[in-house]
Amino acid sequence: MSLFGPLQQQPADALLALIGQYRADPRPHKIDLGVGIYRDETGNTPVLRALKAAEERLWQGQTSKSYLGPEGNTAFTAHMQRLVFGTMDFAGRLAGVQTPGGTGALRLAAELIAAASPGARVWVGAPTWPNHPPILNAAGLAVETYESFDKASQSLRFDEMMAALGRARAGDVALLHGCCHNPTGADLSDAQWREVAELLASRGVIPLLDLAYQGMGRGLDQDALGVRTVLARCPEALVAYSCDKNFGVYRERVGALFTLAGSRADADRVHSNLLSLARANWSMPPDHGAAAIALLLDDAELTAAWREELEEMRSRLVAVRQALTAHGGPLRAVAEQHGMFSLLPLSPEVVTRLRTDHAVYMAGSGRINIAGLTEKTVPVFTAALAACC
């Protein structure tokens, strides 16, 4: 009997498959609005200057590549804690570990939840990042979905979200996007975050916050406001963090997972569980990206330079959003949304026609990566859209 015989052929990840399709398209005017990577006005995804300087210093100064441990680089995690939570003091109830990207953080979070409470259900708004449900399912968790966005009116379905979270049992988990919602760009307002925090706290529902775009929406502190509001109110929580976009370190796989526990003693036990789960999964996370970021954030000049570059990226996204909104129609709400993505009210047929007839590549859902557009290509894209809608 063959071990591998029973395996079913798996479809390629639709979003990642777009990368290959776009590359293979010989049309010179093609536009890539697919996978979520930042591009500058010339279409490049640069290594940030501040990061490059930090990497150079790291390369010069590094004297050993011996093992760290399953917790990764603790200086990196301490910096991330300050970036995410500012001056919040959790009196020893917060634990953090470095992870291989935000995906590693989510997987570790899911495994920790499954180990602590195997019957917990995770409530996820639809649409969400397509990789969320598979990550949760892979850890054995049940996923409950609810509609959280109306594509036609381009608005958040906040009442439905509150109603769904109101149905969650104590001990269930609510997965929330910290900022720059992927795929809709439709974020909760500050007042809505307060309502959500209140509801979760009063019902004993545990927040799992996914923060992958800090600084790309409204600014570094403003983008952390939702996370801070929820953690100020809920006694237990998890925060999965990705540095891919805001430090431009996509392929280095740099992330962190933070857990807030009810007491210092609980936090110590949670930390020990994070370490043993990490050890069983990847033993220890890759070092280079996190070490370079720790070095960058240790240095005031490099930190200021990085903040400036992040602000450049953010302002470019805002400018493209404003240019798109001016065209109205399916683009009318884009300037009110935040971060790298908007989910346009386009049918799958229109998405296909845009690709085949106009060489415009976007996810089948109608999600566009705002950073894939430039001053020059906005009119090309809007003309293609007008021709297809």
- Residue 95's alpha-carbon distances to 62, 205, 267, 287, in angstroms, are 27, 19, 6, 19
Given 76, 129, 193, 241, the residue binding ligand LMR (CB under 6 A): 129
The minimum distance between CB 29 and ligand LMR, in angstroms, equals 23
245 is annotated as an active-site residue: yes
Q: Does 19 bind ligand LMR (CB under 6 A)?
A: no
How do 94-99 and 255-260 pair as beta strands? antiparallel
Least Å distance, CB 182 to ligand LMR, is 5
The interaxial angle of helices 377-388 and 348-358, nearest 10 deg, is 130
179-190 b/e (C-beta count within 10 Å ≥ 16 → b): bbbbbbbbbbee
Task: Look at residues 31, 44, 368, 48 and name the one whose alpha carbon lies nearest to residue 215.
Answer: 48
Q: Does 180 bind ligand LMR (CB under 6 A)?
A: no
List the catalytic residue out of 172, 210, 223, 244: 210
Contact call for residue 36 and ligand LMR (CB under 6 A)? yes
Concerning whether 376 is annotated as a catalytic residue, the answer is: no
Closest approach, Cβ 134 to ligand LMR, in A, equals 11
> CA 63, CA 13: separation in Å to the nearest integer?
39
Binds ligand LMR (CB under 6 A): choice among 15, 225, 261, 291: 15
Question: Is residue 211 at the binding interface for ligand LMR, with CB under 6 A as the rule?
Answer: no
Asked if 123 is part of the footprint of ligand LMR (rule: CB under 6 A), the reply reads no
* Complex with ligand LMR: residue 36 or 366, whichever CB lies closer: 36
Give all strands (DSSP E) within the chain, no chain letters: 31-33, 94-99, 121-126, 142-147, 149-150, 155-156, 173-177, 206-211, 237-242, 255-260, 341-343, 360-362, 367-369
Residue found by looking up tokens 């493209």 in the block: 320
- Set 50, 223, 245, 363: catalytic member: 245
Least distance in angstroms from the C-beta of 35 to ligand LMR: 4
Q: Shortest approach of ligand LMR to residue 249 CB, angstroms?
A: 13
Assess whether 212 carries a catalytic annotation: yes
Burial 319-328 (b: 16+ CB within 10 A, else e): bbbebbbebe
35 in contact with ligand LMR (CB under 6 A): yes
Give residue number: closest CB to ligand LMR: 36
Chain residues that interact with ligand LMR, rule: CB under 6 A: 15, 35-36, 129, 131, 182
Active site residues: 129, 210, 212, 245
